[in-house]
C-alpha cells in the first residue's frame, strides 16, 4: 500500500474525527478512537498533528468552512429566481423545510457541528471559530431574507440583519428538535410556528 502524504493523513484524521463526533460526541474523540476510525496508527495521527487539541482545532476549522460553503450554495439557487415570482410565505416555509430535511438526512453532521461549536466556544484560543460559524450563519440568513423579499416583492418591518439571528435560532431549534425526538411531526410544528412568527415582520401590501 502506498504511503499517505502528510495532507492525506491530515484529511483522513479530520474525516474520521467528524464521524466519531457525529456518532458519540467530542468527548469520544480520543486519538485511539480516531486512529481506529481512520484505520491508521496513532503515530500517524501525531505525525500529522502535534496534539489532539491541534487536530480538533483543524476539525472545527474544516467543519465551519464546509457548513458555510453549503449554505452559500442555497443563495446561488435563490439568485436564479426572478423577482415577484412567489409568495413570501411559501419561500420562508420552503427554506425551513429544506433545512429540516437536510438536518434529518445529515443528523450526524449536524450533531458534530453543534458539538464542535460548543467545544470551540469553551476552549481558550478557539472561541473565534464558534464566532466565525455563527457570524457566517447570520450573514447567510440575512441574505436569504433579502432574497425572499426580492423574489416575493415584499419587505420586512425590521432590517434583515436584525431578523437573521432569530432565523438561525429557528434552524438550531429544528436541529435540536430532530436530534432530541426524531419526530418529523414535532419538527413540522416548529416550522409552522416559526413561519407565522416571521410573517409577523412582513410589511403589509400597500393598498
HSE, CB side, 13 Å, CA atoms: give it for residue 18. 21
Taking the CA atoms of the chain, what radius of gyration do you get in angstroms?
20
In tens, the pLDDT along 35-86 reads 999 998 888 888 889 988 889 888 888 887 887 777 777 777 777 788 887 8
| Domains defined for the chain, CATH in brackets | 1-49 (1.10.10.60), 60-199 (1.10.357)
pTM of the model: 0.82
Q: Nearest Cα to 47, choosing from 35, 59, 37?
A: 35
pLDDT given for residue 138 in this prediction: 93
Low-confidence ranges of the chain (pLDDT < 70): 1-2, 207
CA distance 62 to 78: 25
The DSSP secondary structure of 50-62, one letter per residue, reads SSHHHHHHHHHHH
Integer Cα distance of 156 and 148 in angstroms? 10
Q: What is the pLDDT of residue 2?
A: 55
Give SS3 for 156: strand
CA distance 72 to 122: 27
Amino acid at each position: 500500500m502506498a504511503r499517505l502524504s502528510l495532507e492525506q493523513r491530515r484529511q483522513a484524521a479530520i474525516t474520521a474525527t467528524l464521524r466519531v463526533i457525529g456518532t458519540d460526541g467530542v468527548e469520544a474523540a480520543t486519538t485511539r478512537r480516531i486512529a481506529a476510525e481512520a484505520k491508521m496508527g496513532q503515530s500517524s495521527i501525531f505525525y500529522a498533528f502535534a496534539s489532539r487539541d491541534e487536530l480538533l482545532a483543524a476539525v472545527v476549522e474544516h467543519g465551519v468552512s464546509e457548513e458555510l460553503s453549503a449554505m452559500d450554495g442555497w443563495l446561488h439557487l435563490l439568485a436564479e429566481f426572478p423577482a415577484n415570482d412567489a409568495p413570501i410565505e411559501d419561500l420562508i416555509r420552503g427554506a425551513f423545510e429544506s433545512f429540516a430535511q437536510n438536518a434529518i438526512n445529515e443528523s450526524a453532521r449536524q450533531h458534530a457541528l453543534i458539538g464542535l461549536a460548543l467545544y470551540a466556544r469553551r476552549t481558550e484560543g478557539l472561541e473565534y471559530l464558534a464566532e466565525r460559524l455563527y457570524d457566517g450563519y447570520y450573514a447567510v440568513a440575512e441574505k436569504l431574507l433579502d432574497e425572499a423579499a426580492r423574489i416575493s416583492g415584499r419587505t420586512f418591518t425590521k432590517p434583515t440583519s436584525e431578523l437573521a439571528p432569530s432565523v438561525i435560532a429557528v434552524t438550531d431549534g429544528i436541529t435540536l428538535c430532530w436530534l432530541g425526538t426524531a419526530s418529523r411531526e414535532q419538527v413540522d410544528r416548529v416550522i409552522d410556528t416559526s413561519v407565522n412568527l416571521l410573517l409577523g415582520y412582513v410589511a403589509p401590501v400597500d393598498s
